[in-house]
Amino acid sequence: MSQTFSYPHLREFTREVFIKMGCPPQDADIASEVLLSADLRGIDSHGVARLTGYVRLWEAGRINATPNVRVVHETPSTAVVDGDAGLGLVVAPFAMKVAIEKAAAVGSGWVSVKNSNHFGIAGQHAMMALEKDMIGMAMTNASPLVAPTFATERMLGTNPIAVAIPAKEQPPFVADFATTTAANGKLEILQRKSEEAPTGWIQDKDGHSSTNPHELKSGGALLPLGGDRDHGSHKGYCLGAIVDIFSAVLSGANYGPWAPPFVSFLPLAPDPVGEGLGHFLGAMRVDAFRPADEFKGHMDKWITRFRQATPVAGEQVLIPGDPEREMEKERRTAGIPLLDPVVKDLQEVAGKFKLDF
């Protein structure tokens, strides 16, 4: 069962929770907007359902509500940002602004981030570049829940990649995907619904395929994109590894099995190799390659032609970003549905901070 809440209500409540955690109002505004962007776009696993997780990390002393986010190394086109253990929801937008500023100056900007936390949906950060006629990229490493192909040990996170590309009359191309067959948040949703997971999402502790959404609690692991070697899981493994290296090895964050877990009840690795989680943000000025209007006109043509591709029976050919955009249009009007367990969690948070929900 679920209940529906308006976007303004959920955003204001989320903002108030972050302020109660000690975040400055400006940071609380940014964090609530980024977090709720997931719910608006239909990525329910990364929206307000995660709010209680941020609260618990803060209570455990693993999130700094008043960080000194800063550039610690840079060249004209690159930078490393230290997030000072702040909310990734705040740190990543700061880093993306640095990337955009560098792109405006020299054509492209690339920023690797250390000492951060979970940053919400990657697509929201990549899309920051669109209004500047830039192509945006965002990726992050995450809690080690994924076994490499042919392994039983959890070594990588779901490590998403997002790319946002502007168009002219058509809406932008926005690809935002985990490098696993499914994100961990989708397992959490199945757990709340008491439903099984599809084959190819997870394996048990011995490496055998499983449909039990609770398998990770028993030593199991998520699977790289593809599910198994015959279906290309080695490619998903490669993509996840690239994200880990760009986000963490490059910046000085923890990588691989040392990446800190999102859940507060799991301990940090006793022998950290870096600081916090890592992100990688990039921006490329379109007119560094060809006139922006010319490029965007051809993007319109690209998008239109792909939408016209002959579909299989009963299906519609979509462009990356179409489902999320339609969902946002609907939810801004009709509201955002939350599963009852999520509502209960938010009510408990409201009680903790003496807020109305």
pLDDT digit string (tens) for 129-180? 999 999 999 999 999 999 999 999 999 999 999 999 999 999 999 999 999 9
- Single pTM value for the model: 0.94
Mean pLDDT (the chain) is 96
pLDDT digits (tens, 9 = 90+) for 212-240: 999 998 999 999 999 999 999 999 999 99
Q: Give the model's confidence band at 206: pLDDT under 50 very low, under 70 low, under 90 confident, else very high.
A: very high
Query: Which of the listed CATH numbers 3.30.200.20, 3.30.60.50, 3.30.2350.10, 3.40.190.10 matches domain 182-222?
Result: 3.30.60.50
Task: Give the domain ranges of the chain.
Answer: 182-222
The pLDDT score that the predictor gives to residue 318 is 96
Distance CA 122, CA 116 (A): 14
Averaged pLDDT, 184-205: 88
Q: Does the structure show a pLDDT above 80 at 23?
A: yes
Q: Do residues 44 and 189 make contact, with C-beta atoms less than 8 angstroms apart?
A: yes
Q: Give the model's confidence band at 104: pLDDT under 50 very low, under 70 low, under 90 confident, else very high.
A: very high
Taking the chain, what is the end-to-end CA distance rounded to the nearest angstrom? 18
Neighbours of 116 (CB within 10 A): 34
Burial of 210 (0-12, 13-18, 19+ CB in 10 A): buried
Torsion 325-331-333-334 (CA) sign: positive
Percent of the chain with pLDDT over 90: 93
Q: Does the structure show a pLDDT above 90 at 306?
A: yes
